Chains A and B, each alone.
Chain A
Amino acid sequence: MSEPRFPYSSGRHADPVIGAPSLLAEDIVVGYPGALTPALRGVNLEIRSGTCTALVGPNGSGKSTLLKAVAGLLPVVSGSIRVYGNCVGACHHRVAYLPQRGEIDWAFPISVERLVLTGRYVHLGWLRMPTIRDKDIASASIERLGLSGLAKQRIGNLSGGQQQRALLARALAQEADLLLLDEPFSAVDASTQDTIYDAMRNLRQQGKTLIVATHDFNRLTGAFDMAVYLKAGKLISQTDASPCFLNLEKEQVWTG
């Protein structure tokens, strides 16, 4: 992978610290600017490399906040976040973030192909145009998510499920090691859900680390190694994603 001549952020060249987990959050407090109470209140979390973790909890429990803090979109008030042993932002190209669909201006005149290609920009930096190789990587991701027929379409012409797949295709094109997926299954059709689970399985086989915020309790067992439960900005528990644990936790989170 070629390094950008003029990277967007000066600190992106940091190499992973050997033996460090993909993500290590120590007692982090994270709040939105202007909010009175922080959205995350003292969360400790360690995510080992090569695992697939489900982030579960009711609305407002802090799932998105955690992902945004790891992606560097929200500043950490106190505590520390380490990604591969480095501080947030030290290796942008290793972290891909799949935003919720509402964060993007879908009316913008840009094709699906070009949207996915923006996943390569972190490897290009200033003044460098996407190469043939970048375009090949983008089309491969588009194909993996079953959007080949729509590659030339304007993003505004896509259905909700297709939009979600296009965003995931971009995250794949980034070739990151740690993928943060914020509600990839929300408001999508069943076939898109299957496609996304397929893509996730594939990423796991490649040894990538995934952290996925989700409401979908029914499929936690097959698709995930770990389940992390958040509630009201606190970490309730971090368990294996096996059925006996899950039933217990499900009770606790959704009723208690």
Chain B
Amino acid sequence: MDWLTEPFRYAFMQHALVATLLVGITFAMLGVHVVQRRMAFVGDALAHTTLPGLVVAHLFGMSLSFGGIAAALVAALLIGWASRRQTVKEDTAIGVVFTGMFALGVLLMSRTRSYRDLTHMLFGNVLGVTTGDLWFISGVTLVVFIVLVLFHKELELTAFDPTHGEVIGLHADLMRFLLLGLLALAVIIGIQTVGVILTNALLITPAATAAFLSDRMPWRMLFGAVLASISSVAGLLFSYAVETSPGAAIVLSCTVAFIVVFAFNSVFRKFRTTASDLVQVDELNAAALPEDISQCN
């Protein structure tokens, strides 16, 4: 068992472990909502748009987290606003905003000639996580967890039936902004661990894997969190053993977990769909449809 415990004798590895576990759990919970709402692109966009904020904060010697949050919140509001008006299609708006902001970040950064810091922003620096960072990460995890629990029923309803939400006075836009706000917060802690470019993987991959394992959102969140935790430990150990980038190793572990579950699911699906209740539904399905055509004329 030495290979398992030995790396975590070092304080920086302990910090890295706690950070990746917390980040993994936060992202898995948020990711279930993001995947359900088909917003997979949004996390990527938010992560990329934080770059100018990070760089400006870096240039002026301010807290990187603060700069990142400011930029991500602005981007979240912009995306939410643009998609609400429907003047520009949401994916187009995101594409324009995020590439533009990212380019601005790279431009600003290239003026400073500090490519080591740029690399940390792009690919994360989980081994450099300080105790202060850990407090911040814990805070964000707690906030995301509490908000998702308190507003679960509203987030769920407006995701699959925004119309009913409007009818009872619960505005789907409001819940969407809430989710985008949480994402903006989460993206900041994601950037510290796996960096701007790979943050979206933590958001999407564990949640997408968990979707194969359960039909209920709370379970998906739990499974996603467990998968993310296992991937975090595996990724850290692997990167320690072969001296590679920890962020990339963690993301690849998530990807491997996805592939394994996907393969198992494909093989065993035959058995699952022969469950008697599903057959009964299929028979009813077949009997249901053709009635209407005569009614319409």
Contacts and interface: CB of A to CB of B under 8 A. Distances in A.
Interface of A: 7-9, 11-12, 71-73, 89, 92-93, 95-97, 99, 103-105, 108-111, 118, 121-122, 124, 126-127, 129-130, 149-150, 153-154, 157-162, 170, 185-190, 192-193, 215-216
Given A97-B164, A109-B216, A130-B153, 5 more contacts: A11-B169, A95-B167, A161-B288, A186-B292, A189-B288
Given A99-B164, A103-B163, A188-B288, A8 B295 contact: no
Nearest to B285: A159
A36 to B, nearest CB: 16
Contact of A92 (B168, B277, B289, B292): B168
Contacts of A92: 167-169
B160 interface: yes
Contact of A8 (B159, B169, B281): B169
A167 B200 CA distance: 35
Contact of B217 (A12, A73, A93, A109): A109
B290 to A, nearest CB: 8
Contacts of B157: 118, 121
Given A8-B169, A109-B217, A150-B281, A121 B288 contact: no
B163 A99 contact: yes
B148 to A, nearest CB: 13
Contact of B161 (A7, A89, A104, A109): A104
A153 B285 CA distance: 14
Contacts of B168: 8-9, 92-93, 121-122
Contact of B167 (A71, A149, A187, A189): A71
Interface in B194-216: 211, 214-216
Interface residues of B, number: 36
B220 interface: yes
Contact of A187 (B215, B220, B292): B292
A61 to B, nearest CB: 13
A73 B165 CA distance: 10
Interface string B146-180: 00001101101101110110111110000000000
**Interface SS majority for chain B:** helix
Contacts of A71: 166-167
Most buried by B among A93, A161, A185, A192: A161
A116 to B, nearest CB: 11
B162 to A, nearest CB: 8
Nearest to B156: A110
B284 interface: yes
B200 to A, nearest CB: 21
A108 B159 contact: yes
B36 interface: yes
B35 to A, nearest CB: 10
Interface in B209-235: 211, 214-217, 220
Interface string B280-297: 110011011101100110
Contacts of A186: 292, 295-296
Contacts of A110: 156, 160, 216-217
A234 B55 CA distance: 60
A105 B156 CA distance: 11
B278 interface: yes
A111 B156 CA distance: 12
A89 B167 CA distance: 8
A89 B288 contact: no
A121 B163 contact: no
Nearest to B36: A108
A153 B287 CA distance: 18
A100 to B, nearest CB: 9
A161 B290 CA distance: 11
B178 to A, nearest CB: 12
A158 B285 CA distance: 7
A109 B36 contact: yes
A149 to B, nearest CB: 8
Nearest to A33: B86
A154 B36 CA distance: 14
24 contacts: A8-B169, A11-B169, A73-B167, A93-B168, A95-B167, A97-B163, A104-B161, A108-B36, A108-B160, A109-B36, A109-B216, A109-B220, A110-B216, A118-B164, A121-B170, A122-B168, A126-B154, A157-B278, A159-B284, A159-B288, A160-B289, A186-B296, A189-B287, A189-B288
Contacts of A159: 281, 284-285, 287-289
B150 A72 contact: no
A158 B166 CA distance: 24
Interface string B112-137: 00000000000000000000000000
A54 to B, nearest CB: 13
A121 B156 CA distance: 12
